[in-house]
Amino acid sequence: MELVNFFLDLEYGDYASKNASNIEMTILSHLLASDIGCSLRSNKWPTFKDWALDDSLGDCLSSNLTRLEKEGNDIFLTDIYSDEEIPTEFKISRQQFAKLFDDWQEKVCKLKPKEVLIKYENDEFTIEIKD
């Protein structure tokens, strides 16, 4: 089982990640906490989920800390600033990505729990929250 913890910064209202079990979970934490975040976005712009599910929005996307690339039914996440000679890739299916995006919005952004734990086991993500 892989995991990563997030903690709510009460002063700024955003999340910081800690204790990622591996590089792949660190990459995922950067995507969720920094690139996707919980800020209000205009409805006129596509979301990361829109991009993941709509081939007309392109195959690659780069954000603050992560690069995302679609290949078939999968998305590969990499750290833009990796110190590795060959950066680690984290593969996630488009459907998993869309579900994780929705769960992040519903369980984390709307509820604003003080602590969030994301587990990845048997090719599934689960989000646990604590106040």
Which one, of 45, 47, 42, 44, lies nearest residue 100 by Cα?
47
Q: For residue 95, what pLDDT is reported? A: 95
Q: 42 and 33 in contact (C-beta within 8 Å)?
A: no
Two structure tokens written together for 117:
């734990």
pTM here is 0.90
For residue 68, the surrounding DSSP H or E stretch is strand 66-71
What pairs with residue 129 in β-bridges?
116
Q: For residue 10, what pLDDT is reported? A: 84
Q: For residue 40, what pLDDT is reported? A: 62
Give residue 121's Cα distance to chain centre: 16
Question: Per-block average pLDDT, block size 10, for the chain (131 residues)?
Answer: 93 89 95 86 75 94 93 96 93 95 94 96 93 88
Count of Cβ atoms closer than 10 Å to residue 19 Cβ: 13
Q: For residue 20, what pLDDT is reported? A: 95
Q: For residue 44, what pLDDT is reported? A: 59
Q: Can you tell me the distance from the alpha carbon of 62 to that of 6, in angstroms, rounded to the nearest whole number?
A: 22
What pairs with residue 119 in β-bridges?
3, 126
